[in-house]
Every structure is written in C-alpha cells, then in structure tokens.
Amino acid sequence: MIDLLFEGTESLRLPCSWLLVIPGVAVALSGRRRAVLVTAVFTTVAITVAWLRFSGFWPLGDFTLGDGGTSTQIILGVGILASAFLAWKKDTAATDGLSAGVAGLAGAWGWIPCVGPALGDVINGAGREPFVHIPGTIAFIVGLFIPFIIVAATDVVFPAFKEKTSNQVVTKVGFVLMAVVGILFAITQFDDLANELARRSTF
C-alpha cells in the first residue's frame, strides 16, 4: 500500500498526471475558502471513477479511446463551465461541492494513468478482484493529490493560514483555470491533450 502512495506522489512529475492534477489545482484555488470540502469531494469522485474504470464497471466508455468522444467532451465541458459559474455567483458549500465533483468526474474520466509497477498490479488485478483493489486505488490517488490534502489539513490545524491565503485573487485564478479546463473539454481537445501527454510520459 505504501508503494502505491509513493508511486502516486512520484507520478506528479509526469505529464500524464497533469490532466488530473490541473483540475484539482483549479478546484483547490477556486474553492480556497472551503478547501477541506472541495478537496474531499474532488478526491472522492476521482477515486470512485478511477476504480470503476480499472475494474471494468464504468458504464460510459473511455472517450480518450474514441468511445463517444465528441458529445461526451462537450457535455463535460458545459458541465464544468456551468458548475464553476454557479460556484462563482452563489458562493455556497453546495455550489463549491458541485463544481469540485464535476471537475473530479471529468478529470478522472479523461485521465490516462502513468502506470508504474504498483499501479499496474492494481489495474491488472481489478478486473478479476475489483473490491480487493479499492484500497490500492485510494492509496495511489491520495498520493497523487497529496499537495491538496496537505493544504486542506493545514487550514484545519492553522486557521490563520487559511485567512491569509483565501482572497479574491486566488479564487479568480482558480476560476480562470477551471474555465480553461472546461473550454478544452467543450472544444473536444481534452482527449488529444491527454493522449499527447501520455505519449510523453515514462515512469
């Protein structure tokens, strides 16, 4: 389990992880005022989608491999943009959570994993014994998202840190980044970018 945690953290440096990490950064910045909530929602949704994909239970195909790619990406793009707009205008826990959940769904669905030896064992075994490999999937994704988890934990332990780093500039940067992610989906370029970054990645 520890090897999966470290492999997830190590994969942060690889381009293939960026298309899952970048939506996470957007969520963390745009939802800075509720870092614990948005981090928990984004991470939980990403873990769930990743496990469903690894185990073969995911019912909606893989748009990075051409499974309904165009319509799927447009719908996800519109969903990201609409939920981010709601979060910006309403500024409630519900809208922040919705935006984080949609971003986690889109990122994990389009993500092409950087497969090292430990994650490879999880992916290969999840189809045969899906529930056995839930902890391994959790460990890898937690390792990948460790920077966001540390920031959220710091907010809880040191409230003054949250007050100093939660401001309109940080939030606006997050929403701009979220808009870029949403536009990439909406113009159906996310799958091309995912495949290109995966091609450039080696463990």
Which tens digit of pLDDT belongs to each residue from 29-44? 888 888 899 999 999 9
pTM, 2 dp: 0.88
DSSP state of 200: T
Q: Is the pLDDT of residue 197 over 90?
A: no
Full DSSP string of 45-69: HHHHHHHHHHHT--TT--GGGTSSH
Q: Is the pLDDT of residue 199 over 90?
A: no
pLDDT at 153: 84
Q: Is the pLDDT of residue 57 over 90?
A: no
Token pair of 140 as six digits: 């890898």
Which range marks the domain in which residue 171 is found? 2-199
The larger pLDDT score, comparing residue 63 to residue 166, is at 166
Please list, residue by residue across 175-188, b when 16 or more beta carbons sit within 10 angstroms of its beta carbon and e when fewer do: bebbbebbebbbeb
pLDDT at 45: 96
Q: How many domains does the chain have?
A: 1
The larger pLDDT score, comparing residue 148 to residue 99, is at 99
**Least confident range of 4-13, 95-104, 136-145:** 4-13
pLDDT at 202: 67
